[in-house]
Amino acid sequence: MFKKLFLSLILSAFLLTPNISSAKFYHQAIGGDVLSLWNGILTATYEQQVAPKNSFTIVGSFWGYNDWTAGGIGASYRFYLIQQSTRALEGFSFGPFLQVSYWSYSNNNYTYDGGTSFAIGGEAAYKWVFSGGFEIEPTIHISFPITTITGLSYRGSWAGVTLGYAW
């Protein structure tokens, strides 16, 4: 009796294990950072797989800080090297990024336009992609300013949580 139960458990486990060849691989993703949105920063990210373990991202941002407003665009190259069975767009990633932002300042007495800032840095993320393509991706960024703008403090590190869709 015990032997039959054991064999049926082994057979069930074998049949219920997903086949690697039937697993869905995602090549593109788009999402928005809800943690940044909570802080008043609108951020959207597009990610494209460029190799089995690498991807390229483009990030667009718009934010306001006191009397400052800014729009920015950035890019990063991500490496998915740690995991063995997962391809790019799933799992742990890290890589360098570059951000360019155009700032303006306006209050009742003074207006200043034309401040451009550049920053380079690194990012680390972990992306879960669920059935149907829904994705959750917590991220951490550390950046260093190449140029700064007078009167504006610089934020060198931040965290985010991107919710989106992968296909």
CATH number of 24-166: 2.40.160.20
| Among the listed residues 50, 52, 51, 32, the one whose alpha carbon sits nearest the alpha carbon of residue 42 | 32
Round to whole Å and give the CA distance between 38 and 34: 6
- pLDDT band of residue 111 (cuts 50, 70, 90) is confident
SS3 40: coil
* Band (17; pLDDT cuts 50, 70, 90): very low
How does residue 130 score in pLDDT terms, banded at 50, 70 and 90? Answer: very high
**What is the arithmetic mean of pLDDT over 7-36?**
66
CA–CA distance from 56 to each of 13, 146, 149 (Å)? 37, 22, 28
What one-character-per-residue DSSP string does 113-149 give?
EEEEEEEEEEEEEEEEE-TTSEEEEEEEEEEEESS--
pTM for the model stands at: 0.79
Determine what percent of the chain is predicted with pLDDT higher than 90.
52
> What is the residue-averaged pLDDT of the chain?
84
